[in-house]
Amino acid sequence: MSQTNIFVLINVVGGIAVLGSYVLCLMMFPEQREALWGGVVGTTRNIVVISMLFSAAGYLAFLYISVFNVSTDLFSEKSLMNGNLILILALTFLLSSTAWMPTSVAFLETSNNLYWNLSVASLWVAAISLIGLFIAVFITDFSGASNLPKIISVAGLGMITFHCLVFDAIMWVSNFPK
């Protein structure tokens, strides 16, 4: 199986896992929906929601370009670790994102600090993975004549990296009422 196919598989299965964990937690624990916002309210919440939409669009743009634009060279000898780093970072990002809501709900339900620590760790691992992914894509030489695919990929990853680092790992964690 090619690295591109593995990348698609990681993102399809990982994306379903992330969204599935959110849907299951919100359906099984509807009383925790407000608490999961971590004290983020009002205009700030609206900004976070808008950022979520742009972040998802940014990641999907990166994904699309990575899979369908042959000039990206993300999975060639021009990329760090011949593209394996991209696979590892994407997998790490999606696994840690999948863990966030279940560990947060577990903390809200039990007040067990182990779940809080796992929740916070999952947010930081996701953010750090995205920083690594952003850097890896930024320094990869896209061989195409146009810089547009690289610009779109880097901008898309920049949006989701900013969101996961600033709004999730920093703001959500610091605002969460414990």
CATH class for the region spanning 3-175 = mainly alpha
**Would you list the domain boundaries of the chain?**
3-175
Q: What is the pLDDT of residues 65-83, one digit of tens each?
A: 999 886 667 777 767 677 7
Q: What is the pLDDT of residues 149-163, one digit of tens each?
A: 889 999 999 999 999
Q: How does the average pLDDT of the chain come out, rounded?
A: 93
Q: What is the pLDDT of residues 14-27, one digit of tens each?
A: 999 999 999 999 99
Lowest mean pLDDT segment, chosen from 13-17, 37-41, 115-119, 127-131: 37-41
Instruction: Write the DSSP assignment of 58-96 as a string of letters.
Output: HHHHHHHHHHH-TT--TTSTTSGGGGHHHHHHHHHHHHH
Query: Is pLDDT above 80 for 132?
Result: yes
Q: What is the pLDDT of residue 2?
A: 87
Report the 10 Å Cβ neighbour count for 153: 27
